[in-house]
Structures are given as structure tokens and as C-alpha cells.
Structure 1
Amino acid sequence: MKSDRIDMTRRQMTAMLLLAPLAITHSSSRADQADPPYSAIDFDWVDRARSRPVPARLYWPTAASSEMPVPLVVFSHGIGGSRQGYSYLGKHWSTHGIASLHVQHVGSDAALWRGNPFGVIGRLHAAAQEQEAIARAADVRFALDRMLSGEAGHHAAAVNRQRLIAAGHSYGANTTLLTIGAQVVRNGQTIDCLDPRFSAAVVISAPPFYGETDLPAVLRNVSVPTLHVTATDDVIEIPGYHSEVADRLAIFDAIASPQKLLAVFRGGSHSMFTDRPFTGGLSLNAKVKAATADLTLAFFAFAFERNNAALTQWQTNWRPILAQAPATDLAPLVNMAPASVSL
């Protein structure tokens, strides 16, 4: 990609956050001998007020307890996804003591790929409409309500309610932004989906807010710390919704809060951040997944604990796959108060 498309020398990032009812089935796995075990638990919730199913999969650290409550990520999938997706993140987080609830949005989930193949584009366009975007944000709120209620059993008492994180990829990144304060105005009415319970967010490959020309106005109420992740070849190719990496950068730039981090990997693809193992290059795909998972943990650590020790280590580990950037002396960051630097 041409250097003028991503000029990292002009993109400043904040050092402060540079790091950094029910049908239930159970399964257990172990990432490796060094990792604690986790459980994957499926919930088949229904929001009766909206007559809308809200399936979800919970990745749960089995060592969690009410005595040592754990942070919770509520994850929103991209268009055509499901609760089974982004498992590499759910497994990574849960093996490191962070629970994650992967919500399935029935109006824009994997059902879009079923049926007459000639109708796929029409189904994708229908799923991208404004009412579905609002419904997805309501799904996230509903799922969090259920997770923190008695319906989730003993898990509810073991969630640290001061450490709730909204996260998502692609369409799910837009859902996340709506959930943490993004607003649009329609017919003189402000559409506000803010859930103030979230205190941080992970925004992976966010598309633009199509039709919106004033992004700073859309995003001006986003105030929680945000981590933004993309790649130089992060391109969306849905007819009528073409979007390039510049749109991800515009989202980052439009957020006024200085509590934000942008990580840009070199090469790749838009779907590289899903569970698909080959897209973006077999070797790079695996590396970006590992780097993204590591970065989210570092982000959580600094956002909630003001521990930026993982910052220098992360950049040292993954610098070879980051987009070209000027050499930066990272040592001063360790002791810096909020300030901006180039990566």
C-alpha cells in the first residue's frame, strides 16, 4: 500500500492506552499445559420483548469465583458470523482469566449464507440496514443483562462489573461503537444505543458509518478507552459497501478522546481477524491472530490496572509485522503520563 494511504508518522497514539428457560451445552478445552482450563457454554436466550432469539457462547475461566471476579468481554461478530466465531479470542481471553460472551445476531448471522446463492447479496444488503444495526446493539445489552442476572447462574456473581469490555469485528465493530456512545440523527431524532456499563472497547476493522459525513459528530460521545486494530489490506468487498483501510483510520481519528490506541498490521485482509486460517496469508494470519490476542490483554491490563509493562514487550515481539513506522524509542513510554507518540 502506498505510504500516503497510511502515514503512520502523522497518526498519534496515546501512550496511556498504547498497550494496552436455557438450553446449555458444555465443552472443555486446554490451550496448552501452561494455560488454565476454560469452559465453553452455550445459552439460547430469547428477548421476548422483541421476539428475537439472542444465542450466545460464553468462554469462562474455570478458576473464576465470586471471591476473585473476572473481567467480561461482550463480543459482536461481523456480518454472516455466529457465536461460534472468533474462538481464538475467546479461548485466549479465558485461559488468561478473562471471560467473554460471544453474541449471535440473528438478523445478520450465518443464516445469510444459506438458501438461494443468487440471493446472498440481497440478504447481505438487508442485514446492513439501520434497523438491524440498532437491533444488534440491543442484542448486546440484552445478553449483558442476562449474563449479570440469575439466568447465568453462579457466573453472574463472578463477573467484575467494573471491568466490562465491548468488542467486535467489522459490523460487530460498528455495533461496539454504538454500544459505547456513537450516535446518528434520523428525522431530527438521535439514535442512542449507549450502554454505560462498558468501561473499555476493542474495535477491530470498523467499517464507516455509511451515509454519515461528519464522523466526529457521530463519535463525539465515545469516552471510554478504545483499542483499534486493522491491517493495510483490510478491505471490505460487499457490493454497495466497499470500504478500505482508510475508513478504519478515519474512525480512529474521529474519536476525540485521547484514550485510544491504533494498531495497523502490514498486509493481511479484512477476514483475517475471523477464525478463517488462510485469508491474508497462512503465516501472517496466525501471527496477526496471536498478536491481536496479546495486544488486547495488554490493553486490558493498562486500561484497568495502569500497568503498561506489556507495552514495550508487545511492540518488541510484533514489530516485524506492523505497518512501516519511524523508529521510536519506546523506553520513555514506561514512565509517561497521557501523551501522544508515533508507533
Structure 2
Amino acid sequence: MTIHPVTGLTDPAGTATVSVKPLVLRARRRGTDLHVRVTAPTTGTRLPVVLFAHGFGSDLDGYAPLVDHWAAGGFVVVQATHLDSKRLGLPADDPRRPRIWRYRVQDMRRALDELTTLEASVPGLEGRVDHGRVVAAGHSFGGQTAGILVGLRVTDPDTGVAEDLSDARVMASVQLATAGAGGAELTAFAHDNLPWLRDQDFSHITAPGLVVAGDKDDLPLTTRGPSWTTDPYTLSRGDRSLLTVRGGEHFLGGISGYQSAETTDENPDRVALVQQVTLAYLRHITGVDHTDWNNARGALTDGHPLGHLATK
């Protein structure tokens, strides 16, 4: 176990990891096969799973600071490249674009459906995965994807219907820098170009979850300011927690990749905070260990320089 000199939080001793990509899952109706990456510890049994959805435009190679940390901490992390990825280069007039938010959810379901196949494709992993402990996680657009899997209702802009697309196999969620409720608080740009944000209903979320929000995350999608990204916490029900990252902008110090050029608030200590709190939460909610989570709740009070942790 190590103690970070700035965050003051503890981490379990990390283990070596292995990562395999691309694992290709056939998806005829999607129009493009689903490419998946699996990162896992080289030791341990009954390993819980994190199903991770990237932000808009990213791919299965993103978010290494989080993925590597979670895997070293005892989790099998499954990442897919969604249709909005810049890597795929979908044309602006591609007929799949208006329903791209739905395809993301279907991608996650397909990965869960094929979890046994994915497990067998990673050398030494077969038989070591606990299919009964799955947490959905995601950043930005990926946070909506993760939220839908635990009960977030999104009104389909084509049909006007808000379906229940949750998946009973997912026990909890981790949502990082994720969109809040729509309506009048959306900017004209978001209303016109991201119609899946117009009407989001968080009240059906009853599964446990951790929301991570930067108090300087002033997105051009809302007129409300950074507090908009706390909606997945304040408007949901059940056992929920909120990590507010002080000074954090949309990439929370640099979680989207090592030396990522898109990070506007580069800060290694901020990244360490997000790494440690999310791993502590994952270990807590899957029943691996509660010590680090309880320590984080005690340490991240109003006086902590990097963040504040609230629960309800």
C-alpha cells in the first residue's frame, strides 16, 4: 500500500497487467465490427469488471491513466471504440449519427454478451473473471452511456419516447464529467447538434454510483456552468457519491491519456486524486475492500486542497 504525498490517500499495492487489442466482435447491424480492448491484472481470481465508455471522438486506446490504474488494482477493464470515434471517421451525413447514443449502449451490451469470448482471448485470463460484478464507467459522452445502463432515461429525439435501456448485469456506475439535465439549460449548439441531451431523466437511477465533477468544467453545452455536471448525483436516487475536483476542467487534470494535448488543466496531482478515489470506490462497491473508500471519505472534507467527497 502507498500513500500519495499530496492527496494523502492510499492505494493498494499494484500488480502487473496485460492488455490485448483489438478483439473484434461481429456486429452486422452496426455496420462496423466492434473493436474491443481488454486490460487485466496478470494475477488474481474472481476479478470484477469495469465496462468503460470513452468520451466523444476517443477510442479503445484512450484513458490509460485510469485504465492502467484500475487494472493494476485488480479489475478487468473492457473498452470499445464507439461509432463517434475520430478513428472511424463517420461522415457527417451518415444515417447512424442521429442514433449514435443508442449504438454506444448496444456496444456495451454486446461486450457483456461476449464477455466469455473476450475473457478467453486474453492469455491467462480465462476462468479468472467474476461476471457477476460489473460496473459501468465513462467520461463525458461515455458517462451518459454508463448512466443509461443503470437507469438514466434519454428521450429519443426521433420517437419522443424515453425507454428503459438499463441492464441488470450492471451493479453500479462511475460517471466522470458527465452531462446534466437538458431543457432550457442547454445552449443552442447543444440543442441543435446533440439532440440526445435535450431531455435526460436521472430519477430512475437507483443503483449505487460515483459522480466525478470538476468545479471549473465550464462546458459550451450549458448555460448553467460547472454545476451542471453534478446533476447525475443530485437528481439520482439511491446510494450516490460525488467527488468535486477543485480546479478541475473537463479532463480532470489529464485522465484521457498520458501527455494528452486536449487536456486544458494538466495536473498530475489532480489525476492521482481521480485515480485513487475511483479505484477506492470500485473496490468498495464490488465488495473487494472498504478501507481505502472509508479513508477517502474521512480525508476529502472541506479543507482538502484537491477535492471534496459527498455522499447521500
CA contact (8 A) 1:147 1:156 kept: no
Task: Give the greater-gyration-radius structure (CA).
Answer: 1
Deviation at 1:242, TM superposition (A): 6.9
- Which residue of structure 2 lines up, in the alignment, with residue 165 of structure 1? 135
Q: In structure 1, how many angstroms separate the alpha carbons of the residues matched to 2:264 and 2:298?
A: 22
Which protein is richer in helix relative to its size? Answer: 1
Give the SS at the match of 1:111: coil
Residue 150 of structure 2 is aligned to residue 180 of structure 1? yes
Q: In structure 1, how many angstroms separate the alpha carbons of the residues matched to 2:225 and 2:118?
A: 43
Residue 123 of structure 2 is aligned to residue 146 of structure 1? no
Matches within 5 A, 1:21-40: 35-40=14-19
- Which residue of structure 2 lines up, in the alignment, with residue 266 of structure 1? 246
Q: In structure 2, how many angstroms separate the alpha carbons of the residues matched to 1:77 and 1:299?
A: 19
Deviation at 1:248, TM superposition (A): 1.1
CA contact (8 A) 2:69 2:279 kept: no
User: Compared with structure 1, are the counterparts of its residues 212 and 70 closer, same or farther at alpha carbon in structure 2 (3 Å cutoff)?
Assistant: farther
User: Compared with structure 1, are the counterparts of its residues 84 and 150 closer, same or farther at alpha carbon in structure 2 (3 Å cutoff)?
Assistant: closer
* Aligned positions, number: 278
**1:304 aligned to which of 283, 286, 289:** 286
CA contact (8 A) 1:73 1:99 kept: yes
User: Compared with structure 1, are the counterparts of its residues 201 and 103 closer, same or farther at alpha carbon in structure 2 (3 Å cutoff)?
Assistant: same
User: Compared with structure 1, are the counterparts of its residues 298 and 48 closer, same or farther at alpha carbon in structure 2 (3 Å cutoff)?
Assistant: same
- RMSD (Å), alpha carbons: 3.4
User: Compared with structure 1, are the counterparts of its residues 308 and 38 closer, same or farther at alpha carbon in structure 2 (3 Å cutoff)?
Assistant: closer
Deviation at 1:298, TM superposition (A): 1.4
Q: Percent identity of the aligned residues?
A: 23
User: Compared with structure 1, are the counterparts of its residues 49 and 242 closer, same or farther at alpha carbon in structure 2 (3 Å cutoff)?
Assistant: same
**Deviates most, 303-312 or 198-207:** 303-312
Q: In structure 2, how many angstroms separate the alpha carbons of the residues matched to 1:241 and 1:128?
A: 25
Deviation at 1:243, TM superposition (A): 7.0
Q: In structure 2, how many angstroms separate the alpha carbons of the residues matched to 1:315 and 1:98?
A: 22
Deviation at 1:209, TM superposition (A): 4.8
Residue 85 of structure 2 is aligned to residue 109 of structure 1? yes
Stretches of structure 1 that go unaligned for 5 or more consecutive residues are: 1-18, 20-33, 116-121, 329-338
Q: In structure 2, how many angstroms separate the alpha carbons of the residues matched to 1:177 and 1:150?
A: 23
Residue 247 of structure 2 is aligned to residue 252 of structure 1? no
Residue 114 of structure 2 is aligned to residue 133 of structure 1? no
CA contact (8 A) 2:58 2:81 kept: yes
CA contact (8 A) 1:267 1:280 kept: no
- Which residue of structure 1 lines up, in the alignment, with residue 75 of structure 2? 98
Residue-by-residue CA offset, 1:135-170 (whole Å, 9 max, x unaligned)? 100011111212234774464532112210100000
- Which residue of structure 1 lines up, in the alignment, with residue 217 of structure 2? 234
- Which residue of structure 2 lines up, in the alignment, with residue 28 of structure 1? none
- Which residue of structure 1 lines up, in the alignment, with residue 192 of structure 2? none
Instruction: Provide TM-score, normalisation by structure 1.
Output: 0.70
Give the SS at the match of 1:40: strand
Give the SS at the match of 2:230: helix
Residue-by-residue CA offset, 1:173-224 (whole Å, 9 max, x unaligned)? 0111111111234546442321110101100011135448899982222121
**1:83 aligned to which of 49, 52, 60:** 60
Q: In structure 2, how many angstroms separate the alpha carbons of the residues matched to 1:280 and 1:313?
A: 30
Which structure has more relative contact order (CA 8 Å, sep 6+)? It is 1
- Which residue of structure 1 lines up, in the alignment, with residue 189 of structure 2? none
